[in-house]
Amino acid sequence: MQTHKKSISEITSSLRDKGMKMTQQRRVILDVLRSTKQHPSAEWIYNQVRKIIPNVSLGTVYRNLNTLQQEGLVLEMNYGKGQSRYDGTVEPHYHVRCIQCGRIDDVEFDTYDHLHDQVESRTGFSISEHRLEFSGICPDCTKSV
Amino acid sequence: MQTHKKSISEITSSLRDKGMKMTQQRRVILDVLRSTKQHPSAEWIYNQVRKIIPNVSLGTVYRNLNTLQQEGLVLEMNYGKGQSRYDGTVEPHYHVRCIQCGRIDDVEFDTYDHLHDQVESRTGFSISEHRLEFSGICPDCTKSV
DNA sequence: CTACGTGCAAACTTTTTGCTCATGG
DNA sequence: CCATGAGCAAAAAGTTTGCACGTAG
């Protein structure tokens, strides 16, 4: 794991090439998300960003998370009916989620990209990615039962 | 695949053992979901059920899908921010999803349950299940580009 | 009979959007 | 400068829930 992440200035210029701006809000949202090992919700990110830009709006957080996702800089994950969770690590990796407290950790694992060919020939789909997610009870929740 | 599904009467009596009733609505919702190879949304199920029970309510569909899910008779899947999708096949299997039209097919594949031990020792979680989902473009959408 | 389930509509949660103003490049 | 983005608040989308009535067992 621990692959090389694009620097903010690299990102800034690739955004500029598409006529997009690196605003203060966008930069801080990305910074916040990249600097946590949690896989937070939009609201958690919003609260962190507010510590730096007190009058940022939740709408801005959502708009930017969507933009960043389209640019391939952020991943969105949905579980159950609650809030989406976001991940600032876009390099392929897998997740394990606690069905009790919602905690999501990364799993250090070789990825199974070679399965794409098998899936393509069996389904006729042209596969671009896959997600593998384990669920169970985390160590903390195991203790506290 | 094509594993044995519990019959409605088996389900009825196992529900009864828990003090739950097999209502007409519950039975039809389960029938509709089990008899499609699609992986439909609650609203699609609702519309199908209405053909048989015209005044069924969407709330009832949701309530029953949640109940059936808790009983392990139905799976719920979330993708992006739209509606949840439901699956009447609870035997372990994987999915492939079209990022263009939203179609979801099953993938015939041996399952990777042996990974659970590896994940447990690496993360300390106690794993109960995993999901593997491929995404890409389906044959129909490939044609129509 | 009677507890569990339903229909209906209102409420709730999460996310998106229209509009006007601000700002990065 | 001026097109892209932000802030605000209202709306949309999806799901849940309270209540009075219905029905499976």
Domain residue extents for chain B: 8-87, 94-143
> What does the alpha-carbon distance between residue B5 and residue A107 come to, in Å, rounded to a whole number?
33
Does the pLDDT of residue B93 top 80, yes or no? Answer: yes
Asked whether A85 and A39 are in contact (CB, 8 A), the reply is yes
Per-residue pLDDT at A49 exceeds 90: yes
The angle formed by the CA atoms of residues B105, B112 and A83, to the nearest 5 degrees, is 60
User: CA quadruple A76, A78, A82, A88: dihedral positive or negative?
Assistant: negative
Q: Which whole number is the average pLDDT over A8-35? A: 98
Residue B130 has pLDDT above 90, yes or no: yes
Beta bridge partners of A129: B135
Residue A52 φ/ψ, nearest 5 degrees: -105, -40
Residues of A with CB below 8 A from B129's CB?
A: 134-136
Mutate to test the interface with B, among A134, A137, A144 (most CBs of B within 10 A): A134
Name the closest residue (CA) to the C1' of nucleotide D17.
B59
Mean pLDDT confidence for B82-90:
96
Fold of B94-143: Dna Ligase; domain 1 (3.30.1490)
Alpha-carbon distance A20 to nearest alpha carbon in chain B (angstroms): 24
Report the half-sphere exposure of A134 (CA within 13 A, side-chain side): 30
Q: Check residue B5 and give its pLDDT.
A: 87
| Class of domain A8-87 as given by CATH | mainly alpha
d(CA A97, CA A104): 4
> In this predicted structure, which of A5-9, A53-57, B77-81 has the lowest mean pLDDT?
B77-81
Mean pLDDT of all residues in A86-95: 97
Yes or no, beta carbons of B138 and A124 under 8 Å apart:
yes
Give the H or E element holding residue A87: strand A85-87
Q: Which residues of A touch B115 (CB under 8 A)?
A: 134
Q: What is the mean pLDDT of residues B23-37?
A: 98
End-to-end CA distance of chain B: 32
Q: How far is B130 from chain A (nearest CA, A)?
A: 4
Percent of chain A with pLDDT over 70: 97
